[in-house]
């Protein structure tokens, strides 16, 4: 189900474990700076990047399917054409409540699959901006 209100966004921001697919080790890139902002505010960041060993002091998983920790939110920093595969992995997990795709990342069909699986989603929005605006 698409998240459609600020009240729903505030609920999401109360969750605490975020798997960041495409998390970067490079400061200055949104895929690094957004999760760092969230990490610095107390969120548990689970980095997902097959090209990194560790990010923010935590071992990086190669794929969402490889994450052993429970995850509340999946935050996606990958091209739109990769969203379908990430959504497939999120749908397979009972723990994932929200799939959030960052600015410029949209896949309407993925949204439909998430809705059919009973999961909420946000597309084409920055989680950091939502946090700054609503908290």
Using CA atoms, how far apart are residues 98 and 90, in angstroms rounded to an integer? Answer: 9
What local confidence, expressed as pLDDT, does residue 77 receive? 98
Strands 58-59 and 98-101: unpaired
Fold observed for domain 6-130:
Rossmann fold (3.40.50)
What local confidence, expressed as pLDDT, does residue 76 receive? 98
What local confidence, expressed as pLDDT, does residue 56 receive? 96
What local confidence, expressed as pLDDT, does residue 1 receive? 85
The CA-atom distances, in angstroms, between 56 and each of 67, 68, 100, 103 are: 16, 17, 20, 22
* pLDDT tens for the chain, residues 1 to 135: 899 999 999 999 999 999 999 999 999 999 999 999 999 999 999 999 999 999 999 999 999 999 999 999 999 999 999 999 999 999 999 999 999 999 999 999 999 999 999 999 999 999 999 999 999
């Amino acid at each position: 189900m698409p998240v459609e209100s600020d009240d729903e966004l505030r609920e999401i921001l109360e969750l605490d474990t975020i798997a960041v697919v495409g998390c970067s080790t490079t400061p200055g890139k949104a895929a690094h700076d957004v999760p760092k902002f969230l990490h610095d505010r107390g969120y548990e960041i689970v980095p997902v990047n097959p090209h990194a060993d560790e990010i923010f002091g935590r071992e990086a998983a190669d794929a969402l399917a490889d994450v052993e920790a429970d995850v509340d939110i999946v935050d996606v920093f990958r091209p739109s054409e990769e969203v379908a595969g990430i959504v497939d992995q999120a749908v397979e997990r009972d723990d994932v409540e929200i799939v959030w795709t960052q600015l410029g990342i949209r896949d309407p069909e993925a949204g439909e699959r998430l809705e059919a699986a009973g999961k909420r989603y946000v597309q084409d929005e920055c989680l950091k901006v939502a946090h700054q605006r609503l908290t």
